[in-house]
Structure 1
Amino acid sequence: MAEQVVIRRLGAKADGIAEGASGAVFVPKVLPGETVTVEPDGTHGRLVSVDAASPERETPFCPYFDACGGCATQHMKHGFYQTWKQDILAHTLRQARIEAPVEPLVDAHGEGRRRVTLHVRFPDRAMHVGYMAPRSHQIVEIAFCPIAVPGLREEAPAIARAIGEHMKAARKPLDIQITQTETGFDVDVRGHGPVKDADRLGLIDLAARLDLSRLSLHGDVVVERRPPAIAMGRTAVVPPAGSFLQATRLGEEVLAGLVVEACARAKRVADLFAGSGPFSLRLAEKSEVHAVEFDKGSMTALDKAFRATPGLRRITTEARDLFRRPLLAPELNAFDAVVLDPPRAGAEAQVKQIAASKVPLVVSVSCDPATFARDAAILISSGYRLERLVPVDQFKHSPHLEVVGILRKDVAKKRR
């Protein structure tokens, strides 16, 4: 039964929190102070209507916003949105008992997302292509995505639909990752599993009709018609199919700029969780770099880009699982700076080794404020000082936030 509630505040995932008849209820796409009607579903509520709107509400620019689970904040005015996102980080730091000034939020959306993942599902006789609805596996079909770069906005749904049509006989759920590169679209299809030789030939023909640079299944390259190059500084990298990539070009440039600036005086830098080298290749313009990453393909791509680019300082690479086998303190002591860019889970095991080392400078890049705070607290307790903290809004219109923290060993404190 529908009920009317007042939104008291927003949670970290942008859901409004209200007190309903049965306790706390979480409501998406609302704002503090609004009176709304919801249909409760456990601890969540489906928004029926906004009965008294906040002055901070604005009209979403995407026609799919109400149904789609991809964006969560298009209904917020820009100033409110920025303050809310900075407050997420400030609140997380307070919980971890970390005192540090938070710099203004950096807008790193740029032209938009250069990679999107669309879903193909067959819940009935028809094929459905699009994004998922909030808290659901139901597909919201889209014809375009306005937060993607211009080249992907309409092309990505069309490519996903063409691939779905080609592979629909198996009726398997497909997740189709489409990346815009310097040489065209790089597409990785997941969910289907292995295909027969005849089907691979059909996919090769399809890639030609769609003019794809590369088409792969679960990272296994079916055809590479052109190397799908990504510009990183003054180099060009061809990452492994389906591998990690910063969400926006501007986001990568902002993060890398902060990293390079912090490491300007470092002669030797360890770049841990280095991916295909967005930081290493820029750092090598002034410093020697040792790049470490679990994925061997990413290390190969980085090494190839380094060798093809004249004028860089030496980059060495190492394929290593830093969760199970972190660099030890004696190994780290050879470096003037360590750069960390781990997955969402953070890098607790590696950070404990850094804490035990003599490395004077740590630059921590994180896509999760909570794990950033946990790891930073370990370093602070061992004598590091968090001297700069920059929130970077690469995932605009979502609750996700990138953080760059610069931590320097407090020599005076260490001596005492």
Structure 2
Amino acid sequence: MTETRPPKTPQPDPAERGEVTIESVTHHGMGRTADGTLVPRVLPGEVVRLEADGPKVVTPAPERVAPPCRHFKACGGCAMQHASDGFVADWKAGIVATALKAQGIEGEIASVETSPSDSRRRAKLAGRRTKKGAIVGFHARASDTVIEVPGCRLLRPGLVALIPALERITALAASRKGEVGLTVTDSEAGPELHVETDKDLTEALRIELPEVAREAGLSRLVWADEIVAELAPPAQAMGRARVVPPPGAFLQATREGEAALLARVRAAVGNAARVVDLFAGCGTFALPLSETAEVHAVEGEASMLAALDRGWRGTPGLKRVTTEARDLFRRPLLTDELSRFDAAVIDPPRAGAQAQVAELSRAQIPVIAMVSCHPASFARDAKSLIESGYSMEPITVVDQFRWSPHVELATRFTLR
């Protein structure tokens, strides 16, 4: 007797079930489907169902992990907590490689140095008043909604512990419908807080805010552009020197990331006797380098150079450091000014340093250590140096902004 089997039930095509396959991840951390649809919190190769409340993963990728922070789905502070550390490192290295290829450069990535979780010493939070008091946290993705982040895995624990005090200050600083910016920075003397608000600093606030700062253990409290309380100088270590940056001054996001960049810069400069540090800030590189070389530090913000100079003068045993306040975008150091240096360090803002790099190319300084926080502008400037006779050494990618699309890097250029 022949066995009769029931006919197979046709299975609907995945597309008919509203499922899509993720083809790649963009440099912003968004998954991309074959038709260009962008999907958050997914990985290449995953099959996902697009639903009103967000993507549902049907077939996960091997690189998918459980997000370490319970706020990941709602908070916009991180983009890649659902991916393994190895995947994120490769993704960030790929962002740099893609930027270089767009300029026709085949660069080598030597390593990716990733700062640990709970290590950010500086971050900008948002604060809003509520009917019951105030809320402090990060914005939701592509939104002005503020998400509370107790237990945040980005910030140093001491900064997370400040949130109750930040809520109290938000209630004082924010209008009923407005928002305040709260930049917190860890320092050797305790956290510093810079409040960005349009609210006037009244006499009542001048009396209350120092008490709030004292109770919260703040080293310094800045309201808009005015220091309203400084219980102790918020010093930062820069090599052997101790520097008190002015309010709002640039600072590397993690100590570990700063150390990785500094190690690469030190190795690049080597035994150079005279070094020019362009976009020097408060002395992140200039002061450690002055332990073995004379340094000329150039920076557009005079207040940061003043902090650098005080740090140098207060540290015995350093070689000579000179400073020059100068807008390097409008007035780059020229060839004849650069010719007296054995090496240059350049760490420009995100826009890069096209005009200054052109002068470096003409000056033919033997060694250039370049640090960048924007792979695309770095690749443009690197192309200019390579076309002028320089060779680019392998690149170190430094990930200070863990789980975010932000990428930093450092490398060395030498004359061929």
Q: Same fold (TM over 0.5)?
A: yes
Which of 99, 102, 110 aligns to 1:103? It is 110
Equivalent AA in structure 2 for residue 75 of structure 1: H
Residue 215 (str. 1) matches residue 230 (str. 2): no
Q: Counterpart in 1 of 2:33? A: 18
SS in 1 for 2:256: helix
- Say whether 1:63 aligns with 2:70: yes
Match for residue 194 of structure 2?
188
Q: Max radius of gyration: which structure?
A: 2
Alignment of structure 1 residues 391-402 onto 2, 5 Å: 391-402=397-408
CA RMSD, aligned part only?
1.8
Kept after mapping to 1: 8 A contact 2:99/2:376: yes
* Range moving further from structure 2, 394-403 or 365-374: 394-403
CA distance in 1, matches of 2:364, 2:175: 59
Deviation at 1:271, TM superposition (A): 0.5
Question: Match of 1:371?
Answer: 377
Q: Paired residue for 2:346?
A: 340
Deviates more, 1:219-228 or 1:365-374: 219-228
1:35/1:193 CA distance change after superposition, 3 Å: same
Measured after TM superposition, the shift of residue 320 of structure 1 is 1.1
3-state SS of the aligned residue for 2:253? coil
Q: Work out the CA distance in 2 between the residues paired with 1:347 and 1:161.
A: 39
Please give the residue correspondences for 1:258-337 in structure 2 after superposition, counting only pairs within 5 Å: 258-337=264-343
Of 246, 250, 257 in structure 2, the residue corresponding to residue 244 of structure 1 is 250
Superposition deviation, residue 388 in structure 1: 2.9
Shift of 1:363: 0.7
Name which of structure 1's ranges 243-252 and 353-362 shifts more when overlaid on structure 2: 353-362
| Deviations, residues 23-57 of structure 1 (Å, cap 9, x unaligned) | 421111100111112258xxxxx633112111111
Equivalent residue number for residue 146 of structure 1? 153
CA distance in 2, matches of 1:383, 1:47: 51
Measured after TM superposition, the shift of residue 193 of structure 1 is 4.7
Contact 2:117–2:402 (Cα < 8 Å) also in 1:
no
What pairs up with 1:54-133 in 2 under 5 angstroms?
A: 54-109=61-116, 112-122=119-129, 127-133=134-140
Residues of 1 paired with 2:321 and 2:406: CA distance?
Answer: 31
Please report how far the alpha carbon of residue 289 of structure 1 lies from its aligned counterpart in structure 2 after TM superposition.
0.3
C-alpha spacing 1:188/1:138, structure 2 compared with 1 (3 Å):
same
Counterpart contact for 2:373–2:409, Cα < 8 Å: yes
Aligned to 1:27: 39
**How many pairs does the alignment contain?**
400
- Partner of 1:37 in structure 2? 49
> Contact 1:272–1:292 at 8 Å: present in 2 too?
yes
Shift of 1:171: 4.9
Instruction: Report the AA paired with residue 56 of structure 2.
Output: S
Distance (whole Å) between structure 2 residues aligned to residue 84 and residue 127 of structure 1: 37
Q: Partners in 2 of 1:87 and 1:321 — Cα distance?
A: 33
Instruction: State whether residues 172 and 192 of structure 1, in contact with CA within 8 Å, keep that contact through their aligned partners in structure 2.
Output: no
Preserved contact between residue 323 and residue 350 of structure 1 (Cα < 8 Å): yes
Query: How far did 1:230 drift?
Result: 0.8
Contact kept, 8 Å, 1:391 with 1:404, in 2: the verdict is yes
Q: Which residue of 2 aligns with 1:353?
A: 359
Moved more, 190-199 or 397-406: 190-199
Query: What amino acid is aligned across from residue 37 of structure 2 in structure 1?
Result: V
Q: CA deviation at 1:258?
A: 1.1
Counterpart in 2 of 1:413? none
Q: Aligned ranges for residues 170-209 of structure 1 at < 5 Å?
A: 171-209=177-215
Does 2:170 match 1:158? Answer: no
Answer whether contact 2:276 2:341 (CA < 8 A) is retained. yes
One-letter amino acid of the counterpart of residue 192, structure 2: D
Question: Which secondary structure does the structure 2 equivalent of 1:364 belong to?
Answer: strand
Shift of 1:3: 3.8
SS in 2 for 1:105: strand
* CA apart distance, 1:198: 3.0
1:211 partner amino acid: G
d(CA) in 2 for partners of 1:318, 1:193: 35
- Structure 1 segments of 4+ aligned residues over 6 angstroms from their partners: 123-126
Q: What is the percent sequence identity of the aligned residues? A: 43
Matched, 1:389 2:404: no
The offset of 1:4, in angstroms, is: 2.5
> For 1:200 and 1:182, how far apart are their aligned partners in 2?
25
Aligned to 2:13: none
Distance in 1 (alpha carbons) for counterparts of 2:51 and 2:354: 41
Q: Secondary structure at the match of 1:403?
A: strand
Question: Residues 59 and 87 of structure 1: is their aligned pair in 2 closer, same or farther, counting only changes over 3 Å?
Answer: same
In structure 1, give the amino acid aligned to 2:155: A
1:162-221 deviation line (CA, Å, top 9, x unaligned):
211222456531000111100001100113354223322222222122221100023421
Alpha-carbon spacing, 1:174–1:289, altered in 2? closer, same or farther (3 Å): same
Q: What's the TM-score once normalised by structure 2's chain length? A: 0.92
Contact 2:175 2:199 in 1 (8 A): no
